[in-house]
Chain A
Amino acid sequence: MTTQTILPVNTESLQATSLRNNEPNWLTELRLEALELASQLELPRLEKTRIDRWNTQSYGAYQESTVIDSLENLPVSVQGLIKDEALEGSLIVQHNSGVVYTHLSSELAKQGVIFMDLHTAASEHGDLVKSYLHKAIEKGENAITALHAALWNGGVFLYVPKNVEVTLPLQAIFLTDEEQSTFAPHILIIADTNSSVTYVDNYVSGEIEGNVVHNGSVEVFVKAGAKVRYATVHQFGNEVTDLSYRRAVVENDGVIEWIVGEMNDGNTMSDTSSILKGNGASTDAKVIAVGSGAQKLNYTTRAQHFGKNTPSQMITRAVLREQSTAIINGITKIEHGASKADGQQTEKVLMLSPKARGDANPILLIDEDDVTAGHAASVGQVNAEQVYYLMSRGISRTEAEALIIYGFLAPVVSQIPLEGLRTQLQALVERKLGR
């Protein structure tokens, strides 16, 4: 059975929007090709998840956004997300289809760091953008990636020149609050040789009447010896279907570190991959998630080893309440020739209600002899013996359960190197747990 993708936009209007936005020709062409692909491709097949039954249609249309000159003109909810460092440093805010605020610290600008919306970058740094855009996540992979390539808007372009070490995190915020606006930011990060950078972003929604699809892509290119730390927190309301692909291509001795906080209230497909191309390249991915209500969640972390001596470490911990369902996949793929690769992964699910359902699928695919790999997966309920032990010291049942739940997430949360992010995640976890 093939399900025809219903296109949210036709060729003429896509072309017209691209022209009106003064996009370079190559980009207009790319979008049109992608739209053509989208009409032929199907939704990805996800393990035990009927994504075809989700709302994956509510794309709305591209709407122009008005640039703001002061952060005070942002909704209050968004202002609270801005980290202190970013206030004085570097911040990009996207509101619906377009970026409305951009600030790059002058110090970073002097060092040659580029931090702007991807749209502007496509004109001002056309060659760079053209040679990397959709190279990690290809437009032809499935209907979602194709539609993304056709429709992406706003977004972030971050380029860190050779040997530049950026100490303060750069931040971006993506806000959707209009169901008629396409919301498809694309993040493109290039960390040149021996550079290092931390980038943190937040995905939020305001009051929405209908439904919105967030179709987002993150592509990170980590050059030799470079180090990128990418932290992201998704906290969309239940009107938003979140379809997110993140992928890093890591060259010799490069490092990609992912920190993903899945705190949405709506259905979510989240796929985070690291391609360890170069020798000595490494990845560390941490995902923490809380599901509630009737949420359907599908989280994948993936490490693909091509280079020799490539370590990968992936951890996902999910707490599920109410009737939420989560399918958690960990895929370690070690290619032939990737000798001395080491792939480790853990997926753990804690279910708080008899109606919650969690599934952990660790997969090791190994085509090389000289490697080490391991996985651990567990799905379980709050341990009654532990609750008894805590209660036997006078702690109430509610408090005992809370300690156990936070304790379940703590080994991952405590490893998050950014304090502001850690605090934010803790607060979101509490909110999602309804406490």
Chain B
Amino acid sequence: MTTNFVIEGLKASIEGKEILKGINLKMKGGEIHAIMGPNGTGKSTLASALMGHPKYEVTAGSVLLNDEEVLEMAVDERARSGLFLGMQYPSEISGVTNSDFLRSAINARREEGSEISLIRFIRQMEAKMKELDMNPEFLHRYLNEGFSGGEKKRNEILQMMMLDPKIVILDEIDSGLDIDALKIVANGVNAMRSEDRGFLIITHYQRLLDYVKPDFVHVMMQGRIVKSGGPELAQRLEAEGYDWVKEELGIEDETVGQA
């Protein structure tokens, strides 16, 4: 069954301030969607609201993953039904090793009594780490603690690979990566492309999209998707910036604003 992900009229606020003002987006398995947009326009908020971050209050709309209402699920249920968010700022958790954490995450998807064996888990993990050119020592490090910016991002991709999600949202996965790491991460994403997996990639730069070819590009401003197009849209944004979009749409302040 191919994956279907439908966001309709999604509104969300934080501390009473409305940030998302009605997001509409349809995605299918096999598709790659890119979201671009100036700072402070609601991109990370969209990602957080989809994942169910407790700080964001969803005030309207619906999000269906294969006809199931995501917004009614707790964060962990969303993850288990196939949603994955590679975060812009992943948390650091002292005392919890990367491997203990990931094993718990994998076992959370399995029935009690059919937990993944340690050997199998380590083998899988080591293979994926090799693909991402990560030092195996990261298995035993505490989760993201003291990781460099780029190491954290690679660790997000590692989790994505291990958890085999249906809808992958990547929030600025390219920021903080050097050129080689960018290629490695992009290869990781490409290796995960499949007919039943959709990607929503939030980025500021065309460079990532050179490696991971998007099918659709969306521009966010003022908490809405204001423009959508194909890969050529990203190229034009890279070359010309956002002013032409604002002009075209008569937008003066593209941020979410205080109003």
Contacts and interface: CB of A to CB of B under 8 A. Distances in A.
Interface of A: 383-386, 388-397, 399-400, 403-404, 406-411
B227 interface: no
B90 interface: yes
A403 B104 contact: yes
22 contacts: A386-B91, A388-B53, A388-B54, A389-B87, A389-B90, A390-B101, A391-B79, A392-B84, A393-B105, A394-B80, A394-B105, A395-B76, A395-B108, A396-B108, A399-B104, A400-B76, A403-B93, A403-B100, A404-B96, A407-B95, A410-B95, A411-B94
B72 to A, nearest CB: 15
Contacts of B85: 392
A389 B93 contact: yes
B159 interface: yes
B242 interface: no
B159 A393 contact: yes
B105 A395 contact: yes
Given A388-B53, A407-B142, A394 B79 contact: yes
A393 B77 CA distance: 9
Scoring B78, B93, B105, B142 by chain A CB atoms within 10 A of each residue's CB, the highest score goes to B93
A315 B23 CA distance: 50
Interface string B217-258: 000000000000000000000000000000000000000000
Contacts of A389: 87, 90-91, 93
Contacts of B96: 403-404, 406-407, 410
Scoring B87, B90, B91 by chain A CB atoms within 10 A of each residue's CB, the highest score goes to B91
Given A389-B90, A393-B108, 13 more contacts: A385-B91, A388-B75, A390-B93, A392-B76, A393-B79, A395-B79, A395-B108, A396-B108, A397-B76, A400-B76, A403-B93, A407-B96, A409-B95
Interface in B116-159: 142, 159
A407 B53 contact: no
Contacts of B104: 390, 395, 399, 403
Contacts of A397: 74, 76
Given A384-B54, A389-B90, A394 B95 contact: no
A interface SS class: helix
A251 to B, nearest CB: 36
A391 B93 contact: no
Nearest to B75: A391
Contacts of B52: 388, 392
Given A393-B163, A399-B108, A407 B93 contact: yes
A180 to B, nearest CB: 44
Nearest to B100: A403
Interface of B: 51-54, 74-76, 78-80, 84-85, 87, 90-91, 93-96, 100-102, 104-105, 108-109, 142, 159, 163
Contact of B163 (A394, A406, A410): A394
B90 A394 contact: no
Given A384-B54, A403-B104, A408 B76 contact: no
A431 B194 CA distance: 45
Nearest to A399: B104
A378 to B, nearest CB: 11
Contacts of B102: 393
Scoring A383, A390, A399 by chain B CB atoms within 10 A of each residue's CB, the highest score goes to A390
Given A388-B54, A399-B104, A409-B95, A394 B109 contact: yes
Nearest to B108: A394
A394 to B, nearest CB: 4
A68 B95 CA distance: 44
A392 B80 contact: no
A392 B75 contact: yes
Nearest to A397: B76
A391 B80 CA distance: 9
B96 to A, nearest CB: 4
Contacts of A396: 76, 108
Nearest to B102: A393
6 A-B pairs with least C-beta separation: A407-B95, A410-B95, A394-B79, A407-B96, A389-B91, A391-B75
B185 to A, nearest CB: 18
A207 to B, nearest CB: 34
A397 B80 CA distance: 13
Contacts of A408: 94-95
A194 to B, nearest CB: 36
A403 B100 CA distance: 9
Contacts of B78: 392
Contacts of B80: 394
B75 to A, nearest CB: 4
Contacts of A410: 95-96
Contacts of B51: 392
Contacts of B163: 393-394
Nearest to B94: A407
Nearest to B95: A407
A403 B75 contact: no
A388 B87 CA distance: 11
Contacts of A384: 54
A397 B104 CA distance: 12
A392 B93 contact: no
Nearest to A413: B95
Contacts of B101: 390, 393, 395, 403
Contacts of B109: 394
B155 to A, nearest CB: 11
A51 B63 CA distance: 57
A80 B85 CA distance: 46
